[in-house]
């Protein structure tokens, strides 16, 4: 901990002026792309059949949709808290069979596919079949936040631990960009919710 505390105060006449002052200091989010305003962004989960069923119901009601957001595209597992996502950042084709057809149908209707990501990885190699073991890659390359003994610092989450990718490491950031391209963009994701980005 530092012995000195620095702070910055912003003055304004209303919440909007305070927000403008703050974001002129820290940066402003880019405007959303035009497609995001064409309809609802539907958050759902549960596998291909459930998503297709929901989309049929929305289509019957002539609901304009700009995107479908699937948090569980990576699959789920049972934990002490119930059902939680696999943080291995790879499409679960058992949960989402026919993924390419689902994405193609959405695109044909002008609808984007959105997914989910956070800066943690779990070692799923002994629990599920992976085409690419990102955890082992990150561990071998030194891309995790580590303890003093240089081993990944385990962060408990319900009944499992995860390791946080070291976003201060430029090589790690380059590696993350590469797996986002292969595991997200190349399977049809137009964007993702980046969780734990507070």
Sheet containing strand 154-157, strands side by side: 120-121, 160-164, 154-157
Beta bridge partners of 128: none
pLDDT higher than threshold 70 for residue 150: yes
Structure token pair of residue 119: 């800066």
- pLDDT at residue 198, as a whole number: 61
Helix H or strand E segment including 136:
helix 134-141
What b/e readout covers 45-60, taking b as 16+ CB neighbours within 10 angstroms?
bebbeebeeebeebee
pLDDT higher than threshold 80 for residue 197: no
pLDDT higher than threshold 70 for residue 107: yes
Q: How far is the C-alpha of 135 from the C-alpha of 114, rounded, in Å?
A: 23
- pLDDT at residue 70, as a whole number: 98
pLDDT, tens digit, 9 for 90 and up, residues 26-75? 999 899 999 999 999 999 999 999 999 999 999 999 999 999 999 999 99
pLDDT band at 126 (very low <50, low <70, confident <90, very high): confident
Whole-model pTM? 0.87
pLDDT higher than threshold 80 for residue 86: yes
Q: What is the mean pLDDT of residues 165-187?
A: 97
pLDDT band at 139 (very low <50, low <70, confident <90, very high): very high
């Amino acid at each position: 901990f530092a012995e000195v505390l620095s702070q910055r105060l912003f003055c304004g006449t209303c919440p909007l002026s305070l927000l403008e002052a703050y974001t002129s200091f820290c940066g402003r989010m880019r405007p959303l792309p035009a497609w995001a305003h064409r309809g609802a962004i539907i958050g759902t989960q549960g596998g291909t059949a459930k998503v297709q069923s929901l989309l049929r119901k929305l289509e019957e009601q002539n609901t304009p949709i700009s995107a479908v957001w699937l948090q569980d595209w990576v699959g789920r597992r049972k934990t002490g808290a119930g059902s939680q996502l696999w943080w291995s950042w790879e499409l679960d084709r058992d949960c989402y069979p026919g993924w390419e057809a689902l994405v193609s149908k959405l695109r044909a209707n002008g609808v984007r596919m959105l997914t989910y990501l956070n800066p943690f990885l779990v070692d799923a190699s002994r629990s599920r079949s992976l085409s690419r073991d990102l955890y082992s890659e990150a561990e071998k390359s030194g891309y995790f936040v580590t303890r003093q003994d240089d081993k990944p610092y385990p962060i408990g989450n319900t009944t499992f631990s995860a390791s946080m990718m070291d976003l201060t490491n430029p090589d790690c950031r380059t590696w993350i960009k590469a797996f986002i391209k292969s595991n997200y963009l190349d399977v049809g994701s137009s964007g993702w919710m980046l969780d734990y980005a507070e």
